[in-house]
Chains A and B, each alone.
Chain A
Amino acid sequence: MRLWDRLMCYCRKRSPWLFHLNSGSCNGCDIEIVAALAPRYDAEQLGVRIEGSPRHADILCVTGPVTKNAVCAIKTVYGQVCGPKAVVAIGSCPATTNVFIDSRTLDGPLGKHIPVDVFVPGCPPRPDAIIEGVAKAAEILAQRGSKPIEPVLTDEPANAEVQA
Chain B
Amino acid sequence: MSYEIPMGPYHPGLEEPYKLDMICEGETVKDAKLHIGFNFRGIEHLAETRNYIQVIALMERVCGICSFIHTLTLCQAMEKLTGLTPPPRAQYIRVIMGELERLHSHVLWAGIAAKLMGFKTMFMTCFEIREKVMDVLQEISGNRVNYAMNRIGGVNRDIEDPQLVLAMVEALEKEMTRTIIPIFTTSKTATSRCAGVGVLTTEKARSLGVVGPVARASGIGQDLRKEAPYAAYGEMDFTVPVVPDGDVRARLLVRALEIMESCKILRQALSKMPPGEIAPPGDGSKFSFVTGTAMARVEAPRGEVMYSVSWKEGARMPSRVHVRTPTYVNMPAVRFMVQGARLADTPLIQAAVDPCYSCTDR
* Interface, chain A (partner B; CB < 8 A): 21-32, 34-35, 38-40, 51-53, 64-65, 67-70, 73, 77, 98-100, 102-106, 123-124, 126, 162, 164
A102 to chain B, nearest CB (A): 7
Q: Is the interface of B mostly helix, strand, loop or mixed?
A: loop
Q: Is the Cβ of A31 less than 8 Å from the Cβ of B46?
A: no
Residues of B within 8 Å of A, CB-based: how many?
A: 42
Please determine whether A32 and B358 come into contact, CB atoms closer than 8 angstroms.
no
Contact between A73 and B10, CB atoms less than 8 A apart: yes
Q: What 13 new A-B contacts, CB under 8 Å, besides A24-B358, A35-B130, A162-B10?
A: A21-B10, A22-B17, A30-B15, A30-B64, A31-B145, A38-B111, A38-B124, A38-B128, A39-B131, A52-B11, A70-B17, A98-B61, A99-B46
When A28-B67, A31-B65, A38-B124 are in contact, do A105 and B42 touch as well, CB less than 8 Å?
yes
- Expressed in whole angstroms, the Cα–Cα distance for A163 and B17 within the complex equals 12
Instruction: Tell me whether B38 and A70 are in contact (CB under 8 A).
Output: yes
- Contact between chains at A26 and B63 (CB < 8 Å): yes
Q: Contact between A104 and B45 (Cβ–Cβ < 8 Å)?
A: yes
A68 to B65, CA, bound (A): 23
Q: Is B316 an interface residue (CB 8 A)?
A: no
Top 5 A-B pairs, shortest CB-CB distance: A28-B64, A52-B12, A38-B127, A27-B64, A164-B35
* Pair A27/B65 contact, Cβ less than 8 Å: yes
Query: CB distance B15 to A103 under 8 Å?
Result: no
Q: Which chain B residue has the least Cβ–Cβ distance from A50?
A: B12
Q: Are B65 and A69 neighbours in the complex by a CB distance under 8 Å? A: no
A73 with B17, Cβ < 8 A, contacts A21-B10, A24-B38, A105-B41 known: yes
Which residues of B have CB within 8 Å of A104?
Answer: 42, 45
Residues of B within 8 A of A26 (CB): 61-64, 67, 358
Once A99-B57, A104-B42 are accepted as A-B contacts, the answer to whether A29 and B64 lie under 8 Å apart by CB is yes
Nearest CB to that of A38 among chain B residues? B127
Interface centre among A29, A40, A102, by most B CB within 10 Å?
A: A40
**Contacting residues, chain B, for A123 (C-beta < 8 A):** 61, 145-146
Which residues from chain A contact B42 at a C-beta distance below 8 Å? 100, 103-106
Task: List residues of chain A with CB within 8 A of the CB of B41.
Answer: 24, 65, 67, 100, 103, 105-106
Report the Cα distance A77→B127, complex, angstroms: 28
A67 to B361 alpha-carbon distance, docked (Å): 11
Q: Which residues of B contact A162 (CB under 8 A)?
A: 9-10
Contact indicator A31/B124 (Cβ below 8 Å):
no
Query: How many Å lie between the Cα of A158 and that of B131 in the bound state?
Result: 39
Q: Is B315 an interface residue (CB 8 A)?
A: no
Question: Cβ of A106: which chain B residues have Cβ within 8 Å of it?
Answer: 41-42
B164 within 8 A of A: no
Interface residue? B308 (CB, 8 A):
no
Which residues on the A side are within 8 Å of B45 (C-beta)?
103-104
Q: How far is the CA of A123 from the CA of B356 in the complex (A)?
A: 18
Binding site for A on B (CB under 8 A): 9-12, 15-17, 19, 35, 37-43, 45-46, 49, 57-58, 61-65, 67, 108, 111-112, 124, 127-128, 130-131, 134, 144-146, 356, 358, 361
Separation of A52 and B116 alpha carbons in the complex (Å): 12
Residue among A24, A29, A68, A100 with most chain B CB within 10 A? A24
Q: Would you call A27 and B144 a contact (CB within 8 A)?
A: no
B122 to chain A, nearest CB (A): 12
Interchain CA distance A31-B144 in the complex, whole Å: 11
Cβ A99 vs Cβ B128 within 8 A: no
Residues of B within 8 A of A70 (CB): 17, 38
**CB neighbours of B38 from chain A (8 A):** 24, 67, 69-70, 73, 164
Q: How far is the CA of A70 from the CA of B361 in the complex (A)?
A: 13
Q: Which residues of B contact A39 (CB under 8 A)?
A: 124, 127-128, 131
Give min CB distance, A3 to chain B, whole Å.
36
CB neighbours (8 Å) of B37 from chain A are 69, 164
When chains A and B are docked, how far (Å) is the Cα of A27 from the Cα of B360?
12
Asked if residues A53 and B12 are in contact (CB atoms below 8 Å), the reply is yes
Q: Which residue of B lies closest to A66 (CB)?
A: B41
Tell me whether B16 and A102 are in contact (CB under 8 A): no
Q: Are A28 and B19 in contact (CB under 8 A)?
A: no
Q: Name which residue of chain A comes closest to B112, CB basis.
A: A34
For B145, give its contact among A38, A65, A98, A124 (CB under 8 Å).
A124
Complex: A40 Cα to B112 Cα, angstroms: 17
Cβ of A67: which chain B residues have Cβ within 8 Å of it?
A: 38-41
* A164 and B39 contacting across the interface, CB-CB below 8 Å: no
Contacts of A29 in B (CB 8 A): 64
What CA separation (Å) do A70 and B45 show in the bound complex?
19
